[in-house]
Amino acid sequence: MRTPTHTLHASQSHSGWDRSREAVLSVPPGTTIELDVADASGGQLGPDSVAEALTDMDMGRVNPTTGPVRVEGAMPGDALQVRIHELRPSGWGWTGLIPGFGLLAGDFPEPTLTHWHYQPSGSEPAAFGDVARVPVRPFPGTLGVAPAEPGPHSVIPPRRVGGNLDTRDLVAGTTLWLPVEVEGALFSLGDTHAAQGDGEVCGTAIESPMTAVVSLDLEPGAAPAFPVFETVAAPRDVEVRDGVIATTGIGPDLMAGARDAVRAMIELLGLRYRLDPPNAYMLASVAADLRISEIVDAPNWVVTCAVPKAIFAP
């Protein structure tokens, strides 16, 4: 574990990417920094919030990222190496169905909100009522650098330069390489999740304020075309223990296949664990993995939605 030499607070944040934004910190390559991060609502939701707050949310304030951090000497074409040393979650988080957002937005028009309270150490899984216990595996949903293209860019879509990757593997111990597109790189981090399944199907994970410790280094001229990462341990230990239950979607369109697989999982969770559809959808978002199981047997592909059985109460 590296000891950070700089700290950024959650107030030192912005929403969206812009190469003209002034850095809040400038550091030489090899520096370790600590970043406090607000939850994805930007503090609009708290432990006492109710579902209606999702409808009233100011979407211009969502997904704030702490930064940007200028890395001295970073030039377009370099790789920014981000080492994720530590994530210290707050112990509270939320998962919500936001009207108009998520893979099955048309199926779930009503705002729905679940609160999670968990051990920040990760020593205990997070309880989803008395139905399931989801392992705490904190990671930053958003980490990226400024795109070369001038002007403001929404924080929501991930990009070649990273950003809102929402990739559950990026836990502590992971190294991520991002392509630098502007002088100084301009790195920011936000959208911290206490747990998420591949796909983040309902659009929200366990959204938790968190402190992240990362170090930033440069590999000159080594920019990858898209982000690349290396992990040191798997995020799928619960799956190994007891196996999975999985649904599939099969057809010529991966998006339709993903929707079919998730719809089938929502139905299955209802039958097996008496979860109503909004709760099944939220649980899938934080614990189910979407995989492309087959993508070569034209014209049909197989998308799988797999839930580790170890999360369910015996």
Site for its own copies in 83-112 (CB under 8 A): 101-103
At 270, is the secondary structure helix, strand, or coil? helix
The token pair at 254 is 């991966």
CB atoms within 10 A of CB 285: 25
Q: Are 206 and 196 in contact (CB under 8 A)?
A: yes
- For residues 12 and 293, which CB has a smaller minimum distance to its own copies in the complex? 293
Instruction: Supply the minimum distance, in Å, between the C-beta of residue 145 and its own copies.
Output: 14
Q: Strands, E, within 111-166: which ranges? A: 112-117, 126-128, 132-134, 139-145, 162-163
Rounded to an integer, what distance in angstroms lies between the CA atom of residue 193 and that of residue 288?
15
Q: Is residue 201 part of the contact set for its own copies (CB under 8 A)?
A: yes
Q: Is residue 59 part of the contact set for its own copies (CB under 8 A)?
A: no
Among residue numbers 155 through 194, which ones bind its own copies (CB under 8 A)?
A: 156-160, 164-169, 173
Among 120, 248, 270, 277, binds its own copies (CB under 8 A): 248
DSSP state of 23: P
Q: How many CA atoms lie within 13 A of 4 on its CB side?
A: 18
Instruction: Supply the minimum distance, in Å, between the C-beta of residue 301 and its own copies.
Output: 8
Among 34, 39, 78, 198, binds its own copies (CB under 8 A): 198
Among 37, 258, 283, 287, binds its own copies (CB under 8 A): 258
Rounded to an integer, what distance in angstroms lies between the CA atom of residue 283 and that of residue 298?
32
Among 59, 75, 127, 302, binds its own copies (CB under 8 A): 302
Q: Is residue 18 part of the contact set for its own copies (CB under 8 A)?
A: no
Among residue numbers 220 through 239, which ones bind its own copies (CB under 8 A)?
A: 224-234, 236-237, 239
Q: Of the ranges 31-39, 82-90, 112-120, 201-209, which one interacts with its own copies (CB under 8 A)? A: 201-209
Task: Name the strand (E) or helix (H) holding 254.
Answer: helix 254-273
